[in-house]
Amino acid sequence: KVARVPLIAGNWKLNLDHLQAIAFVQKLDWTLKDARHEYGISGSEVAVFPPFTDLRSVQNLVAADKLSIVFGGQDLSEHDSGAFTGEISGAFLKALDCTYVIIGHSERRTLHSETDEQLGRKVVAALKHGLVPVLCVGETAEDLEIHGPSAVPVAQLRAALAGVSGTPNLVVAYEPVWAIGSGQAATAEQAEQVAATLRATLAELLGEEVADATRILYGGSVKSTNIAGFMRQPNVDGALVGGASLDVTEFASIARFQK
């Protein structure tokens, strides 16, 4: 068995322009360093997902000051180049030193009608360019009532990995749609149950080794006051944080929890 390095990922959504991003990342770095000094070394990797227009500034800051913060895009195109107005390719993200890219966030699925098939192509595109997909899956309140907790996330995972083989480096984020931005987080036990089912599905699709190495995050109203419960679960390897990632102090205190 491999020890999975926990990941605390902040999805900024449509918040913070490039100047605000510089100030934020600087302050986050100081705060994380202070917290490490005070509480000991946190074993978690810390990632931020700024808007595309911030990435060049974040790249420069991280490189110049040798920060131990990584970053990624909130989406990518399934295409590499061409007549796709408004799109950003995996190659462009990789050229800006992005480690990760979020794929299939529920807001993209809902507001931009992204389908499971399209998300599968995005996963292939991300891997092709050496980006680690942070693949988001999760059920709505209605799905939960009709199908139970795991059916929809598992179906979404299967669809998104349809074109993937070998030993991909990927992260799966279980984000129940009813918990996102609602203040109503899943319980740690609910998150663990779905994460365990997702890991079993990964084992079936890509083998035990990939299932063992893949980080599965919980996302949905994570805060410094509930992170500890999620981190205690054996199959939950960190969190994808929306609202609380926009407050430096709050995000840093989420990131300092040990696995």
Task: Give least dist CB 105 to ligand PEP, A.
Answer: 6
Task: Give least dist CB 177 to ligand PEP, A.
Answer: 10
Asked if 156 touches ligand PEP (CB under 6 A), the answer is no
Task: Give least dist CB 127 to ligand PEP, A.
Answer: 21
Tell me, rounded to whole angstroms, the distance of Cα 146 from its chain centroid. Answer: 27
Q: Give the residue from 169, 182, 164, 172 showing the smallest Cα distance to 138.
A: 172
Tell me which residue has its CB nearest to ligand PEP.
242
Q: Identify which of residues 161 and 244 has a Cβ nearer to ligand PEP in the complex.
A: 244
Task: Give least dist CB 75 to ligand PEP, A.
Answer: 12
Q: Write the burial class of residue 66 (CB in 10 Å: 0-12 exposed, 13-18 middle, 19+ buried).
A: exposed
Residues 84-143 that bind ligand PEP (CB under 6 A): none
Active site residue 105: yes
Asked if 255 touches ligand PEP (CB under 6 A), the answer is no
* Site track 1-20 with ligand PEP (rule: CB under 6 A), x = hit: ----------x---------
Which tokens is 54 given?
């911030």
Give the SS3 label for residue 3.
coil
Single out the residue of 58, 159, 170, 180 in contact with ligand PEP (rule: CB under 6 A): 180
Asked if 219 touches ligand PEP (CB under 6 A), the answer is yes
Alpha-carbon separation of residue 197 from 108, 109, 190, 209 (angstroms): 24, 22, 11, 16
Asked if 175 touches ligand PEP (CB under 6 A), the answer is yes
Residues 221-240 that bind ligand PEP (CB under 6 A): 221-222, 240
Q: Note whether 102 and 73 are within 8 A (CB).
A: yes
Task: Give least dist CB 126 to ligand PEP, A.
Answer: 17
Active site residue 79: no
Name the residue type at position 75.
Answer: D
Q: Which of 139, 175, 192, 250 is catalytic?
A: 175
Asked if 253 touches ligand PEP (CB under 6 A), the answer is no
Give the SS3 label for residue 74.
coil
Euclidean distance between CA atoms 220 and 243, whole angstroms: 9
Asked if 217 touches ligand PEP (CB under 6 A), the answer is no
The number of helix segments (H) and strand segments (E) in the chain equals 11, 8
Asked if 181 touches ligand PEP (CB under 6 A), the answer is yes
How many other β-carbons are positioned within 10 Å of the β-carbon of residue 100?
A: 25
Name the residue type at position 147.
Answer: H
| 243 marked as binding residue | yes
Single out the residue of 133, 149, 220, 238 in contact with ligand PEP (rule: CB under 6 A): 220
Packing angle of the helix pair 248-255, 18-39 (nearest 10 deg):
40
DSSP-derived letter for residue 225 is T
**Catalytic positions, please?**
105, 175
In the annotated binding site, the residues are 11-13, 181, 221, 242-243
Return residues touching ligand PEP (CB under 6 A): 11, 175, 180-181, 219-222, 240-244
